Structure 1
Amino acid sequence: MTRLPRRLLLATAIAAFTAFAQAASAAWPEKPIRIVVTFGAGGASDIIAREIATPLAQTLGQPVIVDNKPGAGGTIGGMEVARAAPDGYTLMLSNSTPLSIGPFTLAKLPYDPVHQFTHIAQVGVAPVLIMANPKAGIASLKDIPKAVGAAGGQMGFGSGGPGSIGQIVGEMMKADMKLNLDHVPYRGGAPMSADLLAGTIPLGIDVITAYVPMVKLGQLTGLAVTSRTRSPLLPQVPTVAEAGYPDLLADNYFGVSGPPGMPAPVVEKIRAALAEIVARPAIAKRFEELGVLPAYVGPAAFTTVVEKQIRDWTPAIKAADLGPK
């Protein structure tokens, strides 16, 4: 029996594996796809994930399941996706918290937010909203110091969780106003808004998405948005610069990422589907109703967005003393 040279055997094996991988990519998807949301149900990320899940399922021909995995500043869900098989069946609704903020508040970096993910596409951006319960007697950002004084020199503000962009903005506001503001973390925006509406906490800070109807109905008072321009959905709410605090500028991005090493054909299928979905007038209108500006960019540009956010927010995390002790 003639033995094939080792090099020929290796080349044959590589060719066979490549052919298998290409065939698998061409057939993808063959089973349901899961989108991990790093916050609880009802928050901004959860809403965006569910808005894109249905049309994504219709385009790809398989169910798309939204799976909420909150905790540890978004890093619990982030770790699950970073360590998942790179087959395209586990994705993440990515945003500033699990990528640009949460990992850097821990003593040990749980994953590399840039290189340990395949960043597929950004789908939108949204400002943070600083808001108050109407009974708290706070009608503007400049009323907060007076309210803190009336409360005995101490007041709490709620956010969607430890290491969230809401906490970052709150800690920056605390430093800027030189006030004793206590962070009250929640497991997502929904439980935080419930306590804010009930008056359990006087202030809340979160991505604008879920709170537009509450402000419009007068259930909450919008104090400021952290974007450079006013939100078209809440035009009566000033920007932080207009309110006298320009250093509080902060935008949150929304996108879809997966584990590292995903096959290029699978990435392209997801990217193309997301680009088409975000371009649909009905989806764009729904995003805008939620306070999110549709803003599609592909893999390379989205990776650059993540890198820039990390550079911008790392100093803010250190200044707010949110990093490892």
Structure 2
Amino acid sequence: MRRRHLPILAALAACSASNAPRTAWAQPAWPSRPIRIIVTFPPGGSSDIVARVLAEALSARLPQRVLVENKPGAGGTLGAAYVASQPADGLTLMLSNTAPIVTSPPIYASIPYDPVTSFTHIAYLGATPLVVVVNPRLVPATDLAGLVAWIKAQRVPPGYGSSGAGSVAHIFGEAFTKRTGAELTHVPYRGSAPMQADLLGGAIPLSFDTLPQNVENIRAGRLRAIAITAPARQEMAPEVPTTAEGGYPGLVAENWLGLAAPAGLPAAIAARLHTETLAALETPLMTARILEHGIAVRPMSQADFTSFVAEEVRVVGGAVRALGLTAQ
């Protein structure tokens, strides 16, 4: 009986051996479909601009197209929650930044994700400072001291615009109020574009916003830059003094940008995305566009970026909690 079964076993073994390569061959190569980068703010802001340039550069390096999709709301937390809930297959990514990862979670109730552990933090892209900017038709001040004096002279606390509750601009605005004693009212918007439209139209007298979004209007005289929230003056607006030069050292803020995916992303895909993203940052297209928008590129390893995020959440997020802010 055993001898009779030998040819059958041999045939089965041969069949299994011949099928093994075909099974491996049938595994789809990554990426098998177009990749989406979710931007947690509306079109037109720094995150959106960087995401679209990055998508273009990555599309040229990967076998599938990389598309951008905007999912704004609640200080970036709606888009972040969406990404955290997606399969960890490397096909849904997030243009992460300070707001949904660091500054928004402490002020919103029931955030359905952990900013550190709910994501695979893939690559750090860079950072950009904020600019204190006013409508010159409404605010006569030309420097930080003059702005503080003007605010204190108003009967009703003036409104300042930000790109949303929990944004870096919102947190900086609250820190500005506490540091200077100049009382302001926060006016949150769904992104920089609608906020800037109201600032230009005179609905609000001032805002705290990323520098690149305001440079054109500053140069045209439609807006007046009062101070940069960076330790040093910026190449794209060298005439604008820092907050330290304006008499408030330590009153600094920046919005960092990165690339993330849902937690559990396979290490091989994370490594490939990290490598391709760093390579994309060095292409002439991205170099020119990023410098054009005042973003300081600081490449770091994936492990360092993950540690950076955890430290930002601990230190900056802790400082936000200490302010006792809540989103309305």
TM-score (normalised: structure 2): 0.88
Per the TM alignment, residue 247 of structure 1 is displaced from its structure 2 partner at its CA by 2.9
Q: Using a 3 Å threshold, how does the CA distance of structure 1 residues 279 and 242 change in structure 2: closer, same or farther?
A: same
Please identify the structure whose Cα radius of gyration is greater. 2
| DSSP 3-state at the match of 1:79 | helix
| DSSP 3-state at the match of 1:147 | helix
1:120 to 97, 119, 122: 122
RMSD: 2.2
Alpha carbons 2:166, 2:327 under 8 Å: kept: no
- Equivalent residues in 2 for 1:276-287, closer than 5 Å: 276-287=279-290
| DSSP 3-state at the match of 2:129 | strand
1:34, 1:224 → 2: CA distance? 36
**1:63 — aligned with what?**
65
Q: Using a 3 Å threshold, how does the CA distance of structure 1 residues 221 and 263 change in structure 2: closer, same or farther?
A: same
1:254, 1:288 → 2: CA distance? 14
**1:218 — aligned with what?**
221
Alpha carbons 1:129, 1:226 under 8 Å: kept: yes
Structure 1, residues 44-93: CA drift from partner, whole Å, max 9, x if none?
A: 11111111111111111222121111111111000011111000111000
Letter in 1 for 2:237: L
2:322, 2:246 → 1: CA distance? 22
1:37, 1:207 → 2: CA distance? 16
| DSSP 3-state at the match of 1:46 | helix
Alpha carbons 2:45, 2:213 under 8 Å: kept: yes
2:205 to 202, 207, 229: 202
**1:237 — aligned with what?**
240
Per the TM alignment, residue 20 of structure 1 is displaced from its structure 2 partner at its CA by 6.5
1:148 to 127, 146, 151: 151
**2:194 — aligned with what?**
191
Q: Using a 3 Å threshold, how does the CA distance of structure 1 residues 110 and 143 change in structure 2: closer, same or farther?
A: farther
| DSSP 3-state at the match of 1:291 | coil
Q: Using a 3 Å threshold, how does the CA distance of structure 1 residues 86 and 152 change in structure 2: closer, same or farther?
A: same
**1:247 — aligned with what?**
250
Per the TM alignment, residue 152 of structure 1 is displaced from its structure 2 partner at its CA by 1.4
Percent identity (aligned): 41
**2:75 — aligned with what?**
73
Letter in 2 for 1:321: G
Runs of 4+ in structure 1 over 6 Å off: 19-22
2:59, 2:214 → 1: CA distance? 27
| DSSP 3-state at the match of 1:195 | helix
Instruction: Between 96-105 and 293-302, report the one with greater CA deviation.
Output: 293-302
Gaps of 5+ in 2: 1-19
Alpha carbons 2:164, 2:189 under 8 Å: kept: yes
- Equivalent residues in 2 for 1:8-27, closer than 5 Å: 23-24=27-28, 27=29
**2:89 — aligned with what?**
87
Alpha carbons 1:125, 1:292 under 8 Å: kept: yes
- Equivalent residues in 2 for 1:38-49, closer than 5 Å: 38-49=40-51
1:275, 1:95 → 2: CA distance? 17
| DSSP 3-state at the match of 2:316 | helix
Letter in 2 for 1:287: I
Instruction: Between 148-157 and 42-51, report the one with greater CA deviation.
Output: 148-157
Gaps of 5+ in 1: 1-15
2:110 to 108, 119, 138: 108
1:319, 1:179 → 2: CA distance? 19
Structure 1, residues 285-323: CA drift from partner, whole Å, max 9, x if none?
A: 211110111222231111122112112212331343215
| DSSP 3-state at the match of 1:134 | coil
